[in-house]
Chain A
């Protein structure tokens, strides 16, 4: 048992930090607090990501055949720690690198692999995820968006909601139904967001003005090769994605660095003399570090090519708790930092913390999975 990063991890981190050093000087003031889906961050990401790609930093852990360097799975969490802790300057490139890519690697045709995996490694595309619908959030199998087969492809009709990044993304990882009911018939598509017949409307959020979108499909035609995997095999693909999606973004690192930042301010303001405040900061840190270790356990399994299991959900729930604990420090002792323009670092942590228990699956759903897979409890009524 060894908890130390190896030299290649450290070297990778150092290389990433060289690119990070070139982020705009007012990153925390004018970029991060608006969220990774904001025009500010997404526009900046184009150049930032190109530099990552130029240095071969985007997907070190992928096979060299698809633009990686055959490195181990730890590299994925190294880049995630460095990026997520800053409010994700890659914007939704991370989504391609974290889970869309692995799904394509597992289920895609060779042509799709060459096209999309290369594009991710070269940081050419910003992604979005079209899963949720008005009547299908937690109950994703209730989705209604249709993909009707026509000669040469499919015609899409229906709508998606909460689709982060959609307004500025290049490509959508879409779930649509080719007939069937519930989980049957669900199919995956990779579609350009500028496909005729797709309309994207933003929805303002409490955590970000720019994150949410509604996406409407009106007789939008996509060619046959937009289908990922087989028709009706989407649910199996989703099951694979889930593990990579839930344990991919290093939320704990954003909380850890956010907490360090808050403690600096508490000290400067003389509030560090309050023993209750100090104790709660330490307690938040213990939650953050627990979440970190539970995440590392998942990555360790990934590095050893083990089938993912209940650890994913334990770690995800721990991250949700940790995120909230740090945000609660801000709310309780430093509420003024959340005022617009006051402190972008605190605001960025807070904004993502308050969505942590809903995005990428509700906290209660993670607990359902812990109940079933870790504790082996019978399904609830």
Chain B
């Protein structure tokens, strides 16, 4: 066992970190940071695209783990970038790079709400036991808004999946990759929200001392950190192993942890955390969507249970 990244992985991470840091400027309005629910990381997307990073999963000597590092690293940006579909799920499912951005949805969610559907060029649909790849540009998409920091859209009418490329029997593989992507995105956002909150409670003074010096605050934030680290490592392991149960556990742990962390982070940022001027919601409102994706934690739990303790193994 060796839990360090290889020198190549470290170099990849360093390059990604630079790109994320160089491209994190928020949009401004009249010279001040715009109070927006979310903003797209166009600069970062362009840099990733130009550098060929989004195809890392298919590069020689690379695979899911490298793609996972990309998704996790970009996921800490306050700006929204579509990476899980483009860099991880799409290429590893289809074995080739797909037109980007890539949206991923369950068939039953297409008329309810899907991340990135408004601008997606490719739509990957989980349709029972199959996966279906669709050209998304022609679809009639209605953009959506809500307490979520993602671009969201839904189809105006029920989907016609017959025009897509049907990958028969690949639904389980799609679900595995999606769970992995979800855990990576959630893990990154959990960490970022905790880091942001941690900075805040160190400098916000109450009763003459930092908010973060109160044990009631420290312990909750520490439990949140334990959870976030757990999600991160479960996701890395799942990326490494390619195992469906590992991916289900990672997504499950993420979705079981999200609401507590989101609650704590908002709580410790006080009223300021309830404003669009304060950056916290860039991550927490992302997490609020991720907690319900793919059917929510009970669905990941049901799959994990079936994968780990298959019915055939009944005592």
State the A residues within 8 Å of B (CB): 1-6, 9, 74, 260, 263-265, 267-268, 272, 275, 278-283, 285-287, 289-291, 293-294, 296-297, 299-300, 304, 314, 317-318, 321, 364, 367-368, 370-371, 374-381
- Counting chain B CB atoms within 10 Å of each CB, the highest count among A286, A370, A374 belongs to A286
Assuming the contacts A282-B252, A283-B252, asked whether A290 and B230 have C-beta atoms less than 8 A apart, the reply is yes
Query: Complex formed: what's the CA distance from A379 to B209 in Å?
Result: 11
B302 and A321 contact, CB distance less than 8 A: no
Q: B221 contacts the other chain (Cβ, under 8 Å)? A: yes
B314 and A380 contact, CB distance less than 8 A: no
> Which residues on the A side are within 8 Å of B212 (C-beta)?
375, 377-378
13 pairs from A and B in contact (CB 8 Å cutoff): A1-B9, A1-B236, A3-B241, A74-B1, A282-B301, A282-B304, A286-B252, A289-B253, A290-B231, A304-B4, A376-B198, A377-B213, A378-B213
B2 and A1 contact, CB distance less than 8 A: yes
B214 and A380 contact, CB distance less than 8 A: yes
A6 and B1 contact, CB distance less than 8 A: yes
B202 and A376 contact, CB distance less than 8 A: yes
Query: Complex formed: what's the CA distance from A369 to B223 in Å?
Result: 11
Query: Complex formed: what's the CA distance from A8 to B215 in Å?
Result: 44
Question: How many residues from B make CB contacts under 8 Å with A?
Answer: 55
Query: Complex formed: what's the CA distance from A364 to B218 in Å?
Result: 10
Closest Cβ–Cβ distance, residue B229 to chain A (whole Å) = 5
B202 and A377 contact, CB distance less than 8 A: yes
Assuming the contacts A286-B252, A297-B233, asked whether A321 and B305 have C-beta atoms less than 8 A apart, the reply is no
B5 and A371 contact, CB distance less than 8 A: no
Question: Taking CB as reference atom, which chain A residue is nearest B198?
Answer: A375
Query: Complex formed: what's the CA distance from A13 to B304 in Å?
Result: 27
Choose one: A4, A263, A304; the contact of B309 (CB below 8 Å): A263
Q: B265 contacts the other chain (Cβ, under 8 Å)? A: no
Closest Cβ–Cβ distance, residue B187 to chain A (whole Å) = 11
Contact with A along B286-315 (1 / 0, CB 8 A): 000000000001101110110011010111
Assuming the contacts A3-B1, A286-B253, asked whether A367 and B209 have C-beta atoms less than 8 A apart, the reply is no
Closest Cβ–Cβ distance, residue A108 to chain B (whole Å) = 30
Closest Cβ–Cβ distance, residue B239 to chain A (whole Å) = 9
Contact with A along B218-254 (1 / 0, CB 8 A): 1101110111011101101100110000101110110
Assuming the contacts A290-B253, A291-B230, A379-B213, asked whether A297 and B225 have C-beta atoms less than 8 A apart, the reply is no
Query: Complex formed: what's the CA distance from A9 to B308 in Å?
Result: 23
Choose one: B218, B229, B250; the contact of A371 (CB below 8 Å): B218
A296 and B3 contact, CB distance less than 8 A: yes
Question: Taking CB as reference atom, which chain B residue is nearest A9?
Answer: B1
Closest Cβ–Cβ distance, residue B240 to chain A (whole Å) = 5
User: Which 6 residue pairs across A and B have the least CB separation, nearest first?
Assistant: A290-B230, A279-B301, A371-B218, A370-B222, A293-B233, A282-B301
Closest Cβ–Cβ distance, residue B120 to chain A (whole Å) = 30
A287 and B253 contact, CB distance less than 8 A: yes
A314 and B225 contact, CB distance less than 8 A: yes
Assuming the contacts A268-B314, A285-B304, A381-B213, asked whether A260 and B309 have C-beta atoms less than 8 A apart, the reply is yes
B1 and A294 contact, CB distance less than 8 A: no
> Which residues on the A side are within 8 Å of B213 (C-beta)?
377-381
Query: Complex formed: what's the CA distance from A355 to B308 in Å?
Result: 28
Question: Taking CB as reference atom, which chain B residue is nearest A281?
Answer: B305
- Counting chain B CB atoms within 10 Å of each CB, the highest count among A5, A265, A282 belongs to A282
Query: Complex formed: what's the CA distance from A278 to B297 in Å?
Result: 12
Assuming the contacts A285-B249, A376-B202, asked whether A267 and B218 have C-beta atoms less than 8 A apart, the reply is no
Query: Complex formed: what's the CA distance from A374 to B236 in Å?
Result: 20
Q: B189 contacts the other chain (Cβ, under 8 Å)? A: no
Question: Taking CB as reference atom, which chain B residue is nearest A380?
Answer: B215
> Which residues on the B side are within 8 Å of A376 (C-beta)?
198, 202
> Which residues on the B side are within 8 Å of A379 (C-beta)?
213
> Which residues on the B side are within 8 Å of A3 (C-beta)?
1, 3, 237, 240-241
A381 and B209 contact, CB distance less than 8 A: yes
Query: Complex formed: what's the CA distance from A284 to B231 in Å?
Result: 14
A279 and B3 contact, CB distance less than 8 A: no
> Which residues on the B side are within 8 Å of A286 (C-beta)?
234, 249-250, 252-253, 256, 304
Query: Complex formed: what's the CA distance from A281 to B198 in Å?
Result: 32
> Which residues on the B side are within 8 Å of A371 (C-beta)?
215, 218-219, 221-222
A300 and B4 contact, CB distance less than 8 A: yes
> Which residues on the A side are within 8 Å of B3 (C-beta)?
1-3, 296-297, 300
Question: Taking CB as reference atom, which chain B residue is nearest A269?
Answer: B315
> Which residues on the A side are within 8 Å of B305 (C-beta)?
278-279, 281-282
Q: B188 contacts the other chain (Cβ, under 8 Å)? A: no
Closest Cβ–Cβ distance, residue A188 to chain B (whole Å) = 30
Q: B65 contacts the other chain (Cβ, under 8 Å)? A: yes
> Which residues on the B side are within 8 Å of A279 (C-beta)?
297-298, 301-302, 305
Closest Cβ–Cβ distance, residue B286 to chain A (whole Å) = 21
Choose one: B222, B236, B304; the contact of A367 (CB below 8 Å): B222
Q: B180 contacts the other chain (Cβ, under 8 Å)? A: no
Query: Complex formed: what's the CA distance from A376 to B212 in Å?
Result: 10
- Counting chain A CB atoms within 10 Å of each CB, the highest count among B229, B237, B249, B256 belongs to B229
A321 and B226 contact, CB distance less than 8 A: yes
Contact with A along B238-277 (1 / 0, CB 8 A): 0011000010111011001000000000000000000000
Question: Taking CB as reference atom, which chain A residue is nearest B217?
Answer: A377
Assuming the contacts A2-B1, A282-B304, A286-B256, asked whether A367 and B233 have C-beta atoms less than 8 A apart, the reply is no
Query: Complex formed: what's the CA distance from A6 to B212 in Å?
Result: 43
> Which residues on the B side are within 8 Å of A293 (C-beta)?
230, 233-234, 236-237
Assuming the contacts A1-B2, A265-B315, A364-B219, asked whether A294 and B209 have C-beta atoms less than 8 A apart, the reply is no
Query: Complex formed: what's the CA distance from A267 to B311 in Å?
Result: 8
Choose one: A283, A300, A367, A380; the contact of B1 (CB below 8 Å): A300
B1-53 interface with A by 8 A CB criterion: 1-6, 9
Q: B147 contacts the other chain (Cβ, under 8 Å)? A: no
Closest Cβ–Cβ distance, residue B78 to chain A (whole Å) = 20
> Which residues on the A side are within 8 Å of B246 (C-beta)?
289
A289 and B249 contact, CB distance less than 8 A: yes
B1 and A296 contact, CB distance less than 8 A: yes
Choose one: A4, A282, A299, A370; the contact of B302 (CB below 8 Å): A282
